[in-house]
Each structure stands twice: as structure tokens, then as C-alpha cells.
Amino acid sequence: MATAPSAKLTPLLKDELDIVIPTIRNLDFLEMWRPFFEQYHLIIVQDGDPSKKIRVPDGFDYQLYNRNDVNRILGPKASCISFKDSACRCFGYLVSKKKYIFTIDDDCFVAKDPSGKEINALEQHIKNLLTPSTTHFFNTLYDPYREGADFVRGYPFSLREGAPTAVSHGLWLNIPDYDAPTQLVKPLERNTRYVDAVMTVPKGTLFPMCGMNLAFDRELIGPAMYFGLMGDGQPIGRYDDMWAGWCMKVICDHLGLGVKTGLPYIWHSKASNPFVNLKKEYKGIFWQEKAIPFFQSVSLPKECSSVEKCHLALAGEVKSKLGEVDPYFIKLADAMVTWIEAWNMVNSPGEKPAMTSLPNATSKK
């Protein structure tokens, strides 16, 4: 006797999360992610030539935006969205109407844990975001909110409530996220180490944020997730996620929000060309030695009580302090302001119905 097929289980936060993917190519990689992504809504940001047709496998619910859509929706404010660089992904953050965002690159595939089980990266990110962070005191068993862990002896009871988690930063097996000089001296190195741990990045500590396997609470920290001016017409590339991470972390520390790093892992399949990367990173390698001390020392005014206010105040500091390093930072600071203006324009209550329909963007269910 035949049995009826079992209904698909509703995944966590199905109607509260968008998956944002920047791309220049057909998205065949989604086939491997189908069991985990198929029930979620995708926002695909097509970079490069807007006349190029991007193929998305059947069965996915998505909206696809190209540069023409960016220009149409944002008008003059489209200048803050990078072109010919994966930094364009932040446009997807801008137009999303969901509480949570997961963003992934199109050369990232499903990884397996040491037992051989496929890792549901999205599910782990959600677990990270839905449990607090330990920003003020380090727990030596790492994330005490994970199953099988707890606060160790000596952890202050007054701090065990933790802080709301704004960002979940995942890692990668196979191709490590190295800069160009490290790629050149270690061309064959692969990351095979699976560390079963999630930890909070302590308050006052910066970290190199990678955008290829990342989730965040858009309502808590969305306006801070600006990936800067990179790519076409700019003197720098491959620092988009780094810049966003430094800005985001300073703002999270100021507002009492947490950032987690560690699980989940994805399988990073493709090593980018180190010589091309070096050309993109060259100035950034020097500039980061000025930028990081700036972020380590910058202080936001107490009256900055929202992410938008914090980001605008940070833009002012970038212009006055890093503008001395290179005129690019003056341009970047202006773009940070434009980004907040665009965020407020697209996300103001009066604009939501019009922006939700987005008649010229490609949509499919």
C-alpha cells in the first residue's frame, strides 16, 4: 500500500528571513542548497552587465535586481552602491523587508561535519542569532547557550542574561579567506580543521568579517551593514566586508549588541586569482594599518542611540580622521551618509508598499 509523501517541515524563520546572493553568473550552486534554501525567499543582486541573463534553478522564490533596478529605485543615491564588486550585496539588505538576512557567495557549497553529515548552515546561523552573546565576559566553554554547554564556575551571575546577538559570522572549509600576499606564499593551503565552537567576539575587539557566510538581525543592525565603495571606479577592492565589519563592531559595542563567530562552516570551492586580488588589495594593505587603529580608538557620542545616528557619526569621524590618509576616505564617508539616506528612503513607512512591488525587478515563485 502506497503511503502519502510526508509534508515538508517548515524551516526556522521561514517568513522572517531573506537570503541575499550577489552574482555575475548562473546560480547552479543553488541545487546543492535546495534542501535548505528552497522554502526561503531569495534576493539576488546581479552585478556587472544588466543585459546579461542570469539563470536561477526552478522552484526557488526569488527577486533578482540588476544595476538598472538599483538606479531606478535609488535615483541619485545609487552612487553609494558599488559596481563590479560583491559589495553590491548590501543593496539586497536595503530592499529586504524581513527581520533577518543570510548572505552567501555563489562559490560556496554545503560542507560536511566530521561525521559526514551535511551542515545546514542557515539553521546554525539562526540558532546563533536567536540566543544571546556574552560580550562583557568570556566564557571558556565558548557559547554557553548551545546545547550541552553552560556558564563555567566563576562566570558572574549578573552577566548571564547576555546581550542581543546582532551578527553571526560563519567560517569555511577548503579554500581559506586569505589576502593576496598569503595566497601567493601558500597557494596549495586548504583549511581542513573543523572546530565545533561558537564564541562571542568580546566588546572592544575588532575582527576581519568575511561576507561569504554571514547572517544578521536586520532590525538590530541593518543600517550598519554597509559594504562601502569598492570595485569599478574605486582605488580599492576586497575590503567591502572588512569595512562593514569594523563599522558594525564599533556600533554594536556602543549599543550593547553582540557578535558571534565560528559555526557554521560552508565549503568554499574556488580560489580567486592572487595577482588580481593583489591589484585590488594593494592600497588597502597599507591603509588598514591606519584604519584599524582609528576604529580601535574612535568613540561615539552618548546621544547616538540608534544605528543610523551611530553610522552618521562614524562617517563624520572617518572624514575628519581618515580623510588625511587619502581623499578616498572623504568620498567613502560621503557614501556612508548617502547609504543612510537611501536606507531611510526605502524603509520609511510611506515607501513600503511602493517598494515592495518593485515592478521592474525580476521575480519568480
CA distance 286 to 293: 12
Q: What is the distance between the alpha carbons of residues 21 and 114, in angstroms, rounded to a whole number? A: 27
Please work out, in degrees rounded to the nearest 5, the angle formed at the alpha carbon of residue 337 by the alpha carbons of 336 and 341. 120
The C-alpha atoms of residue 299 and residue 312 are separated, in whole angstroms, by 13
Domain ranges of the chain: 17-347
As given in the structure block, the three cell numbers for residue 14 are 521561514
Topology of 17-347 in CATH? Spore Coat Polysaccharide Biosynthesis Protein SpsA; Chain A (3.90.550)
In this predicted structure, what is the pLDDT of residue 181? 97
pLDDT tens sequence across 238-259: 999 999 999 999 999 999 999 9
Spatial CA neighbour of 159 closest among 123, 131, 187, 134: 134
According to DSSP, residue 151 is labeled: P
Flag whether pLDDT at 354 surpasses 90.
Answer: no
Query: Does the predicted TM-score (pTM) go above 0.85?
Result: yes
3-state secondary structure (DSSP) of residue 51: coil
What is the b/e burial string over 123-158, where b = at least 16 CB atoms within 10 angstroms of the residue's CB?
A: ebbbbbbebbbbbbbebeebbbbbeeeebeeebeee
pLDDT tens-digit profile of 294-335? 999 999 999 999 999 999 999 999 999 999 999 999 999 999
